[in-house]
Amino acid sequence: MAALFSNATDAIEKGTQYNVRDFDIAGVKLGMNWNQALTALTSQLNIKESDLLMDKYLREDIVLKKKVPKYFVFENDDLRVQVSFVAAVPIDEINPLRANLISYETNRTNDNMMKMRDKAFEKYGTPTNGIRETDHVSTKYSWCRYDESIKFNTCFKAIGAKLEVTAPKITLTDPTYLKNIQVYMDKLNSKEMKF
């Protein structure tokens, strides 16, 4: 296992910037509503909705003021795909949830890790940062847009969405949705000062 994460010899230079919101994992894109994500995932994996595990512990959403599911998962012996949701802001009464995290994970084997890295490079292009090795897998590759003033680890402070491969797992996230909720809640709870 130590050889799998040996020191890099072919570092990817501070690299290409991407609009990661255009990326998908298993057909699911950030910002999709519940039904869009459900349809995309079941179609891509050729599974039925009944094959998914739905969030069974509904909690009240602070924005929507009602109990809603926050995720669904497909899981079998060698694959786990999860799509997590947050409230859409501005509020959308018809489709109130948006996908803000998508993850795809498989069994940890050298072969799976290499295949995931290679498939990610093929599907998404050269990572913004990470290590490109021919016979080994780096611990992490990232695709993002970044602040040009940052000299190293450019995706650490990504602007918006980010795709990360930490084989055998790939994750697509966008903190913008949570920031929008925070701004919304701040405005909603703002009080006039009368002292």
Give the pLDDT of residue 43.
97
Closest residue by Cα to residue 10 from 111, 103, 121: 121
58-88: pLDDT as tens digits: 999 999 999 999 999 999 989 999 999 999 9
State pTM to two decimals.
Answer: 0.85
* Distance (Å, whole) CA 102 – CA 21: 12
Fill in the DSSP letter of residue 189.
T
Q: Token pair 């780096």 is at which residue? A: 138
89-129: pLDDT as tens digits: 999 999 999 999 999 999 988 888 889 988 999 999 988 88
Cα–Cα distance list, 178 to 17, 25, 63, 83 (Å): 22, 20, 11, 15
Residue ranges per structural domain of the chain:
2-188
Q: Across the chain, what does the average pLDDT equal? A: 86
Is the bond preceding residue 127 a cis peptide, omega within 30 degrees? no
* Distance (Å, whole) CA 121 – CA 179: 29
Ranges of beta strands (E only) in the chain are 24-25, 28-29, 52-54, 59-60, 67-68, 71-75, 79-87, 97-106, 129-130, 141-146, 158-166, 169-173
Cα–Cα distance list, 102 to 99, 114, 136, 162, 165 (Å): 7, 20, 25, 11, 12
